[in-house]
Amino acid sequence: MNKWALLVRQTVFAASLLCAQQAFALEVSGVKVDETVKVGNTELKLNGAGVRYKSLFKVYVAALYLQEPKTNVPDVLNATGPRRLVLSMLREVSSEAFGQSFMDGLNKNSNKAEKSKIIIQMQKFGEMFASIPELKKGDVVAIEWQPNVGSVCTLNGKRVGEVFPDIAFFNALLKIWLGDSPADASLKRAMLGEKPDSGVRQREN
């Protein structure tokens, strides 16, 4: 093999290796989880993702995105800049049941003083879920904090409800999964970047 042919072969091999490396993405229980997302003009990195179980059933995959990795709750709650939470449904859930689980989580993880400051936003958040008939398998709910705007909720990429302006409300939502009484303790650990369970693997697109 002459030098030119060897050079071409090496170039092709390097390019194919690069493509192979770029073809892998995180997969959690069959759901592809982006390693980066953008909120406005800011790129956020996946901090952690895992499955929310209720009894023996998988309900959704939750993924938390931050500008920089955080491994403890205070750092997540005190993080500046945009943040994003994505819930990818693994089964059908009525909006009433889903909204109730949110409200239960808020009540368990925020004290009376904290709730008194966001009570109106909590009510409007409940009304938002009441306007959605049901959540189906494959639906994606995203809640993101946009500085100078507020908390914005979307369902399958379309905004639902109004903007919730108080950062305390967004942090109260995060504590549903990251608080002292989280919705799922193993999911909390996964969202904080601990070693994923067997449901998480690298996926080739």
Can you name the residues that pair with 65 across neighbouring β-strands? 46, 84
What is the DSSP code string of 23-75? TEEEEETTEEE-SEEEETTEEEEEEEEEEEEETTEEEEEEEEEESS---SHHH
Coil vs helix vs strand at 92: coil
Name the pTM for this structure.
Answer: 0.83
Q: What pLDDT was estimated at residue 111?
A: 93
What pLDDT, on a 0 to 100 scale, did the predictor assign at position 130?
82
Q: Which residues of the chain have pLDDT under 70?
A: 1-25, 195-205
Judged by DSSP in three states, 79 sits in: coil
- The pLDDT value recorded for residue 126 is 86
Class for domain 27-204, per CATH? alpha beta
List the chain domain ranges. 27-204
pLDDT score recorded for residue 2: 53
Residue 196's pLDDT is: 53
Contact 193, 46 (CB under 8 A): no
Q: Left, alpha or beta for 30 (phi > 0: left; psi -120 to 50: alpha)? A: left
- In contact, 150 and 134? CB cutoff 8 Å: no
pLDDT per position as a tens digit, 88-134: 999 999 988 888 888 899 999 999 999 999 999 999 988 888 888 89
